[in-house]
């Protein structure tokens, strides 16, 4: 069953796509600053969380928790298989911009007798900004 689209859900989706792997709090802050509504109640953090959950369940965005700071969930509007890199100092996450290695699925699967469908890799290191400090 297709869920009905709402203005708030559309705004949350656009924010996730616009921002670089944001947390729910970052989406909320962006929308509060970018989308002020003088005549309406502003979007709440609970509404952001609810819509992120719905967008994730509906396959319109993905959530990243593996390889992020403990307990932090980030969201990604890019749905194709790709890798991420995380800064160990500031916690920022970005796309690694290297090709997805489909052959890893077969290699890992063959080694353990699995039918591997996909894999997730997050590299960690120190970003340029943190290196410069």
User: What are the pLDDT digits (tens) for 39-59?
Assistant: 455 789 999 999 999 999 999
Domain architecture of the chain: domains with CATH: 1-77 (1.10.10.10), 80-133 (3.30.1490.190)
pTM for this predicted structure: 0.84
d(CA 61, CA 21): 10
Averaged pLDDT for residues 115-133: 94
**Strand pairing category for 84-87 and 122-125:** parallel
Taking residues 5-27, what's their average pLDDT?
Answer: 94
Q: Indicate if the pLDDT at residue 67 is higher than 80.
A: no
Residue scoring higher pLDDT (115 or 6): 115
CA-closest candidate to residue 91, choices 61, 70, 121, 120: 70
Q: Tell me: pLDDT of 38 over 70.
A: no
Q: Is the pLDDT of residue 130 over 70?
A: yes
Residue 49: Cβ-neighbour burial (10 angstroms; 0-12, 13-18, 19+):
middle
At residue 4 the predicted structure's pLDDT band, cuts being 50, 70 and 90, is confident
What is the total residue count of the chain? 133
């Amino acid at each position: 069953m297709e869920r009905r689209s709402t203005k708030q859900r559309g705004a949350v989706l656009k924010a996730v796509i616009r921002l670089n792997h944001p947390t729910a709090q970052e989406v909320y802050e962006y929308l509060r600053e970018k989308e002020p509504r003088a005549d309406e109640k502003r979007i709440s953090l609970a509404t952001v969380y609810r819509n992120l959950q719905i967008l994730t369940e509906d396959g319109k965005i993905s959530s990243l928790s593996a390889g992020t700071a403990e307990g932090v969930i980030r969201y990604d509007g890019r749905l194709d298989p790709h890798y991420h890199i995380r800064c160990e100092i500031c916690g920022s996450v970005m796309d690694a911009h290297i090709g997805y290695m489909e052959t890893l699925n077969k290699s890992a699967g063959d080694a353990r007798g699995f039918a591997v469908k996909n894999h997730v890799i997050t590299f960690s290191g120190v970003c340029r900004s943190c290196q410069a400090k």
